[in-house]
Amino acid sequence: MAVWIIEENCTGCGLCAKACPYGAMVIEDKLARVTDRCTECGACLAACKFEALASDIEQEPIPDLSGYKGVWVFAETQEGKLLPVSRELMGEGGRLAAELGQDLCAVLVGSGLEPLADELASLGAKKVFLADDPRLAAYATLAFTRVLADMIQAHAPAVLLMGATPLGRDLAPRLSRRLDLGLTADCTQLGIDKETGNLLQTRPAFGGNVMATIYTPRVRPQMATVRPGVMAPPQARAGAQAEVIKQEVKLLDSDLLLKLMSFTPLASQGVDISQAKTIVAGGRGCRSREGFGLLAELAQEMGAELAGTRVAVEEGWIGVERQIGQTGVTVRPELYIACGISGAIQHRAGILGSRFIVAINRDANAPVFSVADYAIVGDVFKVVPAMLAALKEAR
């Protein structure tokens, strides 16, 4: 065992057990004990305040990373326009860059995208790195990987952020492995460690039941993909200018092997509530199929998807493809409105990734309120019609 306890110093305070990401440290009879789950990560060593832990883990020295500067945002586009997540990343990237005292830079890869440089400048970019080539008009994993790898090696940024879109989740891991960089997926919160300047990357794990903060101590740039819709876009400042730096595009034939044959837009009848931005959901408190009719009206008014609990599905008020929770779908909408749902743990687990949760329930002690951002103690059959009226008024 590479970590051991110096028993005369140990107070059994439990700080090490709390710090252990693997549940390998236990407190027994007021003493810490290392179990065989230990992976020798050393997290406990830093946590102990009583010099009660010792180890023979060799910590490799951190290399000098001061040459890496700048927060880069990969500005993903579609049909020549910035995706909303690109704007959101500019907002978050700007905040991080200010904290680091470094420049926010945007990266454009595609064909004919130079006109977007002004918009990126208005969103805070000091520099725009541009790779413009007709062969980059459509996304191709290997071509984009090569171009970005060349840019990173030429300019050595400290941070690279991408949207956790299908494209970002295809490209970022490929690129991170090519350059041997650390990558954290689907972050919902970013920050800077004041002491080290490390990017603190927080993301949900285990289906949203656990949050983990991750950092990349030894390599730069620190790469992260960020969930769309989580960060706030910045206020655009018209007239701001950015330096545009053009990257020579060097591709191999083998970078363009994949051939796109066709694209079929999805027919709307296929329901996938896991992708919904707004969800109106009902439970036992909606009492009947007619009660769900009221929710359907609210969902339509809000452009939301309708969903339900296991009880609602078993009662036949709503289809099983719209069931949320442990035996149903886990959802991560921007807005989740729980109507007449008590909120058993199985249901709560399925909605914890939601950005905002509204709960409407007659029982003020309903567990659903423990995860709600907005709580309304009241009768669904009174509150929902009043919401419909207020929404129509606000329109």
Partner 1 sequence: MNIAVLVKQVPDTNEIKLDPKTGTLIREGVESIMNPDDRLGLETALMLKDAHGAKVTVISMGPPQAIDVITEAMAMGADGGVLLSDRNFAGADTWATSYTLGKALEKLLAETRLDLVIAGRQAIDGDTAQIGPQVAEHLGWPQVTYVSELKLEDGSLRAWRKLPGGVEEVVCPLPAVVTVLDAPQDPRWAMVDRLLWACGPKSPIRVWDAADIEAPAKSTGLRGSLTQVMQTFSPKSERKTDWIEGTAEEQARHLVNALSQRNLI
> What residues from 365 to 394 belong to the interface with partner 1 (CB under 8 A)?
369-379, 382-383, 385-387, 389-391, 394
Residue 135 interacts with partner 1 (CB under 8 A)? no
Nearer residue to partner 1 within complex by CB, 178 or 287: 178
User: Between residues 122 and 361, which has the closer beta carbon with respect to partner 1?
Assistant: 361
3-state secondary structure of 239: coil
How do 189-192 and 199-205 pair as beta strands? antiparallel
| Binding pattern for the stretch 7-36 against partner 1, x by CB under 8 A and - elsewhere | -------x--xxxxxxx-------------
Using rule CB under 8 A, residue 122 touches partner 1: no
Give whole-number Cα distances, 152 to 181, 216, 297, 322, in Å: 11, 17, 50, 43
Q: Tell the smallest beta-carbon distance from residue 237 to partner 1 (Å).
A: 19
User: Rg of the chain over CA atoms, in angstroms?
Assistant: 25
Kindly state the helix (H) or strand (E) to which residue 128 belongs, with its residue range: strand 127-132
Q: Is 249 helix (H, G, I), strand (E, B) or coil?
A: coil
Residue spans of alpha helices (H) in 51-115: 84-100
For partner 1, the closer of residues 127 and 165 by Cβ is: 165
Name the minimum Å distance from CB 242 to partner 1. Answer: 26
- Dig out the tokens for 129 from the structure: 């790195």
Instruction: Mark the segment that binds partner 1 (CB under 8 A) among 68-76, 281-289, 315-323, 363-371.
Output: 363-371
**Quick check: 300 binds partner 1 (CB under 8 A)?**
no
Q: Which is nearer to partner 1, 128 or 372 (CB)?
A: 372
Q: Which of residues 50-109 bind partner 1 (CB under 8 A)?
A: none
Report the C-alpha gap between 57 and 231 in whole angstroms.
38
Q: Which residues pair with 226 in a beta bridge?
A: 163, 187
Contacting residue, 11, 55, 77, 213, with partner 1 by CB under 8 A: 213
Q: Which one-letter amino acid corresponds to residue 178?
A: R
192 sits near partner 1 (criterion: CB under 8 A): no
Q: Does 238 bind partner 1 (CB under 8 A)?
A: no
- Of 101 and 303, CB closest to partner 1: 303
Burial 192-203 (b: 16+ CB within 10 A, else e): beeeebbbbbeb
